[in-house]
């Protein structure tokens, strides 16, 4: 089965073609992403209206590129104008009609304008080409980036058998710009929300701290780069809720603490900036690792899956690995390939392939507030 998947929940516009063969993990035939993050870097954050306007321009070219690339044909920008565009349309219509079995799309959560671009496009294609449509929860899809065949990474790697079965049951930690949630997953579709942030998401906190430090948006990767200039830091920020009885998080205090620290300090050198970034990353990683390991104990579960933009962070991945190894825990720790940690359509297709519940084209609606169960 081949699925065309579409993701437009925030500032990325992405389309992918995923193939699912019985008994195997989904594989990616093509994956294309256009981002408007350079525009948001100028404003220091996303302006929803601007993001959606960009997505309206990108959505069709990205879908054409994904469809053609799934047949090993790469489109250049000049293929997307004039007479060339007409021929690209003709070819991609043929691929859609003849070799795509279903369309998957992010239904929510996300920005309403952005979601509408993807959902309405997917509905139109599903109706026109008479294909089933699968609505996908963006947050769950972040964890499913781990189920893409080529991306399956695990430490310690206890088996070469890359099958979906080895992943269940698992504790899923979603760490993105908008969310920080812990889930206990028993099987596909059977999960329980067991904890989450009471205020800012981890990525949101990093982005806000970046603004305080004068770093461009999105600040998560910038903080990581700066922190890599040092191997330790004399600064230690507090770890709110780290030892609370529940599985909740709180990151907004960290932003206030960093802001106060900077205000008190006045001017700071490049070395001090790196040390602040190191200390921020260390606090965030420490809290995330601590609470996730606590969840594995509470739910007697020995597998962890990481997902979401912040899971691209090497320091966080290493913190998980060393904590597992140093404490001699027999836990399998999975994280997605870097390019599938931030928003992408491949993870939407992977989720839909493994949770195949199509609906009629007119039953799907963009849902900005779509929640976890």
308 binds ligand KG4 (CB under 6 A): yes
CB of 364 to ligand KG4, least distance (A): 20
Please work out, in degrees rounded to the nearest 5, the angle formed at the alpha carbon of residue 14 by the alpha carbons of 43 and 22: 150
* Partner whose footprint covers residue 310, from ligand KG4, Zn ion, none (CB < 5 to 8 Å by kind): ligand KG4
What distance in Å separates the CA atoms of residue 91 and residue 164, rounded to the nearest whole number? 34
Q: What does 61 bind: ligand KG4, Zn ion, none (CB cut-off 5 to 8 Å by kind)?
A: none
User: For tokens 């947050």, what's the residue?
Assistant: 139
Chain positions 124 to 183 lying near ligand KG4, rule: CB under 6 A, are 176-178
107 binds Zn ion (CB under 5 A): no
Q: Which entry of Zn ion, ligand KG4, none binds 125, CB below 5 to 8 A by partner kind?
A: none
CB–CB of 13/122 below 8 Å? no
Residue 252: CB minimum distance to ligand KG4, A = 14
Whether the Cβ atoms of residue 233 and residue 279 lie closer than 8 Å to each other: yes
Q: Which does 218 bind (CB under 5 to 8 A by kind): ligand KG4, Zn ion, none?
A: ligand KG4
Give the count of beta carbons closer than 10 Å to the beta carbon of residue 225: 12
Q: Does the protein bind ligand KG4 through residue 310 (CB under 6 A)?
A: yes
Q: Is 13 in the site for ligand KG4 (CB under 6 A)?
A: no
Q: Which is nearer to ligand KG4, 10 or 104 (CB)?
A: 10
Helix and strand counts by DSSP (H, E) for the chain = 11, 11
According to DSSP, the residues that pair with 103 across neighbouring strands are 4, 133
- For residue 224, the partner it binds in Zn ion, ligand KG4, none, with Cβ less than 5 to 8 A by kind, is ligand KG4
- Using the Cα atoms of residue 230, residue 234, residue 240 and residue 241 in order, give the sign of their dihedral: positive
Among 245, 239, 246, CA closest to 196: 246
- Dmax of the chain from CA atoms? 64
The interface with Zn ion within residues 149-178 (CB under 5 A) comprises 176
Q: How many residues bind ligand KG4 (CB under 6 A)?
A: 19
Q: Min. distance of Cβ 106 from Zn ion in angstroms? A: 9
CB of 221 to ligand KG4, least distance (A): 4
Among 343, 348, 352, 364, binds ligand KG4 (CB under 6 A): 343
> Among candidates 362, 244, 347, 233, which has minimal Cα distance to 3?
347
Contact call for residue 342 and ligand KG4 (CB under 6 A): yes
Residues 173-232 that bind ligand KG4 (CB under 6 A): 176-178, 203, 206-207, 218-221, 224
In angstroms, give the least distance from the CB of 199 to ligand KG4. Answer: 15
Sign of CA dihedral 146, 150, 151, 154: positive
Which residues lie across from 183 on neighbouring strands? 172, 193
DSSP assigned state of 100: -
Nearest 10 degrees: Cα torsion 235, 236, 238, 242: 150
319 near ligand KG4, judged by CB under 6 A: no
Regarding 313 and contact with ligand KG4 (CB under 6 A), the answer is yes
Taking alpha carbons only, the member of 164, 158, 160 closest to residue 144 is 164
Residue closer to ligand KG4 (CB basis): 290 or 338: 338
CA dist 279 and 244 (Å) reads 21
Q: Which one, 96 or 348, has the nearer CB to Zn ion?
A: 348
Report how far residue 184's alpha carbon sits from residue 100's, in angstroms, rounded to the nearest whole number. Answer: 33
Q: Smallest gap, in angstroms, from Cβ of residue 4 to ligand KG4?
A: 21
Cβ 23 to ligand KG4 shortest distance, Å: 30
Rank residues 314 and 360 by Cβ distance to ligand KG4 and give the closer one.
314
Residue 343 in contact with Zn ion, rule: CB under 5 A: yes
What 8-state DSSP symbol labels residue 36?
A: -
Give whichever of 218 and 240 is closer to ligand KG4, judged by the CB atom: 218
- By CB atoms closer than 10 A (0-12, 13-18, 19+), residue 169 is middle
Binding residues vs ligand KG4 (CB under 6 A): 10, 176-178, 203, 206-207, 218-221, 224, 308-310, 312-313, 342-343
Binding residues vs Zn ion (CB under 5 A): 176, 343
């Amino acid at each position: 089965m081949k699925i065309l998947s579409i993701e437009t929940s925030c500032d990325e516009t992405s389309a992918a073609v995923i193939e699912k063969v019985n008994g195997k993990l989904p594989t990616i035939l093509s994956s294309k992403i256009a981002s408007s993050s350079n525009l948001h870097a100028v404003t220091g954050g996303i302006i929803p209206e601007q993001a959606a306007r960009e997505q309206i321009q990108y959505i069709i070219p990205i879908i054409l590129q994904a469809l053609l690339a799934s047949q090993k044909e790469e489109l250049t920008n000049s293929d997307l104008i004039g007479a060339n565009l007409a021929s690209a349309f003709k070819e991609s219509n043929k691929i859609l009609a003849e070799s795509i079995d279903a369309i998957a799309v992010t239904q929510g959560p996300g920005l309403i304008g952005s979601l509408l671009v993807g959902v309405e496009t997917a509905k139109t294609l599903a109706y026109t080409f008479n294909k089933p449509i699968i609505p996908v929860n963006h947050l769950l899809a972040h964890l499913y980036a781990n189920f893409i065949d080529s991306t399956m990474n695990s430490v310690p790697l206890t088996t070469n058998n890359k099958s979906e079965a080895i992943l269940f049951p698992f504790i899923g930690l979603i760490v993105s710009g908008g969310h920080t949630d812990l889930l206990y997953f028993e099987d596909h579709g059977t999960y329980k929300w067991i904890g989450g942030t009471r205020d800012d998401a981890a990525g949101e906190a990093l982005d806000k701290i970046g603004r305080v430090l004068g770093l461009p948006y999105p600040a998560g990767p910038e903080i990581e780069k700066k922190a890599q200039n040092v191997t330790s830091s004399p600064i230690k920020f507090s770890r709110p809720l780290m030892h609370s009885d529940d599985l909740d998080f709180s990151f907004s205090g960290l932003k206030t603490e960093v802001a106060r620290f900077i205000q008190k300090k006045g001017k700071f050198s490049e070395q001090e900036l790196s040390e602040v970034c190191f200390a921020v990353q260390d606090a965030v990683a420490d809290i995330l690792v601590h609470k996730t390991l606590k969840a594995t104990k509470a739910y007697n579960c020995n597998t962890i899956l990481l997902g979401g933009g912040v899971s691209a962070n090497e320091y966080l991945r290493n913190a998980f690995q060393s904590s597992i190894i140093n404490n001699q825990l027999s836990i399998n720790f999975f994280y997605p390939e870097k390019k599938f940690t931030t928003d992408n359509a491949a993870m939407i297709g992977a989720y839909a392939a493994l949770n195949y519940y199509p609906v009629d084209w007119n039953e799907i609606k963009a849902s900005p507030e779509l929640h976890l169960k």
